[in-house]
Chains A and B, each alone.
Chain A
Amino acid sequence: MAPKLPPQHSLQHSSTAVAGGPSQEHHAHVAHPKGVMRWLLTTNHKEIGSLYLIFSLTMFFVGGIFALVVRAELFQPGLQLVEPEFFNQMTTMHGLIMVFAAVMPAFTGLANWMIPLQIGAPDMALPRLNNFSFWLLPIAFTLLLSTLLMPGGGPNFGWTFYAPLSTTYAPASTTFFILALHIAGISSILGAINIIATILNMRAPGMRMMDMPLFVWTWLITAFLLIAVMPVLAGVITMMLMDINFGTSFFDAAGGGDPVLFQHLFWFFGHPEVYIMILPAFGIVSAIIPTFARKPLFGYASMVYATAAIALLSFLVWAHHMFIVGLPLTAELFFMYSTMLIAVPTGVKVFNWVTTLFRGSISFEPPMLFALAFVVLFTIGGFSGLMLAIAPADFQYHDTYFVVAHFHYVLVPGAIFAIMAGVYYWLPKWTGHYPNERLAQCHFWCSIIGVNLTFFPMHFAGLAGMPRRIPDYALQFADFNLLSSIGAFFFGASQLLFVLVVVLCVRGGQKAPAKAWEGAVDLEWSVPSPAPLHTFETPPVFHRAQSHD
């Protein structure tokens, strides 16, 4: 989310880079095109990282506007602003855009910028593929957004697109929705391949796997999850496509298919997808908290192991999204138990962060504020997740605003706060300037108030009996919805502050040294701020002292 144009003086080598034969040859090829072509053709990981982040920030606002349409309609009972049909399109688009176009590309952008810097690599392993996987995204989401203008409207079946609402009963534009999702999926897969290839092969000499910063570790595991589940999503939407256009009956009972099969396949992708959106956040927070507590991360080894375990277990819990579809008792029990157990390694992470703070020397710069808010609010989301895991109670919670509150706590002050914490943390490295502290603090406090005002009342609305995805509601839910809507507009408006901070930071501000934060240890802080376009052309020598031991 940082529109930082990497410095133009591309031939100026960083202090760690020594001119050598191959790298000079390399430069001779890349006579930089100017203007638009520079960005269209760039293969530089920093430029592509910036492109991802700018795209993600744009889509964050697009998805946010959709959410505000929803919240405006729900401001008070009755139908005031939009028709139910358009309301459904808004809830669907909000979910799809936020998941696939805001959160996932933001993490990919951070990975592009920071993974090579953190492992001492000159670039990603497959730079041209990197360019391709980014440019697929604008194509995919232009296509997706254009469905809103098609006759019959855009997708209106929720981001989970359950069959047969999304097949037999879907609007005509669904084929384009499927195509868009396919393209976005290919983009994520290519990005994941690139990240895996980079991490496994491009580490600085002397850096072993166990020396890697946690952000790199969590991304490596996330990339494996992407490789494992994005093809399943591709499979399931291909089946939808065939059901819609070629007369097959994968999900149609009339032809011997089964609508419940759709949900099994979707959540087999969907639950690991949830972890895809949160594991890199764990990595970012695990970098920030030790930096500002000036103390090594507690339980680095446990963190790595627990991340791997969570990733593996995430394939065993999918049906907890389906407790009320009429699963047999045994399946219900199995998924209840496995879901409860996955809370343990997740809890261990929270304990580790808190213990890292214990007896530290803590300061409260903007990245730290967001990271601390992450720990508290993500944990609250985890608590409601634990409640949802209790299958009998889930019969009451399922498909209500309680669930909406739960996953927004995990994703907004979870994933999105972690992304913002990461942006504030690495902005000095990207731009050479510190972000304006006063404004960033203002952004933080507004966001905290906005997030809680928006999502906390949703717990009550859900417990009181308000179902999800309804454009109008009974009078007893009015107060909660009023609060949520006010909070949502406040939260939305305060994100403009974020844009302001980032823009100001790109244009100027207090100069940052190479090691911008006193307690920072990882390799990225050894290159100058701002990081020159080409770094680590000659691999740095990795000193064990920088590791986590």
Chain B
Amino acid sequence: MWPVVKSVLAALLGVQNDRQRQHDFSTGKPAVFIIVAVLVTLIFVLLLAGIAIFAAG
């Protein structure tokens, strides 16, 4: 699971190397990446919302 999460986080920043990508595409299933990406996005939304609520005081 961790490599998938790492790849998704790399995608969010736009940083990924070729070896890792080769690895992703040869071993991973697209569905797993999509699910993890959606989950990471949700966490990202919650995190951002949390910061916004905190900042709004």
Residues of chain A whose beta carbon lies under 8 Å from any beta carbon of chain B: 208-210, 299-306, 308-309, 312-313, 316, 329-331, 333-334, 337-338, 341, 344-345, 348-349, 548-549
Contact = CB atoms under 8 A, between A and B. Distances in A.
A549 B18 contact: yes
Contacts, number: 78
Nearest to A346: B14
B49 interface: yes
A510 B42 CA distance: 55
Interface string B13-40: 1111110111011100000000001100
A309 B14 contact: yes
Given A209-B25, A300-B18, A329-B56, A344 B13 contact: yes
A301 B17 contact: yes
Contacts of B25: 208-210
A209 B16 CA distance: 16
A302 B16 contact: yes
Contacts of A308: 11, 37
Query: Interface centre among A304, A316, A334, A549, by most B CB within 10 Å?
Result: A334
A334 B46 CA distance: 10
Contacts of A341: 48
**Interface secondary structure of A, over-half rule:** helix
Interface of B: 7, 10-18, 20-22, 24-26, 37-38, 41, 44-45, 48-49, 51-53, 55-56
B14 A305 contact: yes
Contacts of B26: 208
Contacts of B10: 302, 305
A136 B55 CA distance: 49
A334 B52 contact: yes
A344 B55 CA distance: 22
Contact of A210 (B11, B22, B45, B53): B22
B14 A344 contact: yes
Contact of B49 (A299, A304, A313, A334): A334
**Interface secondary structure of B, over-half rule:** helix
A166 B47 CA distance: 37
Contacts of B52: 330-331, 333-334, 337
B37 A312 contact: yes
B18 A345 contact: no
B11 A305 contact: yes
Contact of A301 (B12, B16, B55): B16
A309 B16 CA distance: 12
A260 to B, nearest CB: 19
B37 to A, nearest CB: 6
A157 B37 CA distance: 38
Contacts of B11: 305-306, 308-309
Contacts of A337: 48, 51-52
Contacts of A313: 12, 41
A506 to B, nearest CB: 39
Given A208-B25, A308-B11, A329-B56, A301 B18 contact: yes
B12 to A, nearest CB: 5
Nearest to B15: A302
B6 to A, nearest CB: 11
